[in-house]
A and B are shown apart, each in its own frame.
Chain A
Amino acid sequence: MTALQIIFILVAAATLGAGLMVVTSRNLIHSALWLVVALFGVAVFYVLLQAGFLAVAQVVVYIGAIAILIIFAIMLTRRIMDEDSPTFNANWGWAVFVALIIFGALTWVLTSWPGISQPMAELSERSDPLRQLGAALVSPSLYVLPFELASVLLLAALVGAIFISWERK
């Protein structure tokens, strides 16, 4: 076993454990912070795959923005931080069912993919993944349309947020 594999197994165990703690913690703030640990574990996976940009973007977007927003929402909501509030609601059975189906489907897809058993390809020294990603996002033959669609969607979300919070005089 190489050092990379050992690190991968340790990080994967930590990420899964943190994910389990998210749903089983009695305290919502603890859940949110365990979610941060799980998201950080995913960022470490990106680092292991030599995708530095994705790793940093993961930390900036998910921990710096979304996790902080979740914690704010929890802190500003009344009476949901009580220790005696129920951890599970009536839909937990369905949630387990859906999660199992998604897990099964992903396992099936990944095992039928031939690349799963191959070792990670070495990146050449000269290639700059960041530059390639940037060029791919604006090149007409690649991802410019999905990229622009996503930005229009975000703009619509922004306009919607302003519309909801607008005080009519």
Chain B
Amino acid sequence: MKNLTGLDKLPVGMTGKIKYMTESSNNRRRLLDLGLTQNSIIRNERLSPSGNPIAYNIRGAIMALRVEDTKNIIIELIN
């Protein structure tokens, strides 16, 4: 597989495709419910002043996710 990386490494303005999640905690269910399912497209919209959380566009909605959660989400970079 090419270009696999954690969601936290997705630069602002770039888009990725979600491949899988590494953790299986309560947050996994929550993130899936929020629409972060396999092969969904996610875009880094903008950073907060401190760089954490980060605002992402997923299925037409903007949501802020913490780095603690996003580093467990593995994406494939697309242009």
Q: Are A and B physically bound partners? A: no
Interface on B for A, CB 8 Å cutoff? none
Interface on A for B, CB 8 Å cutoff? none
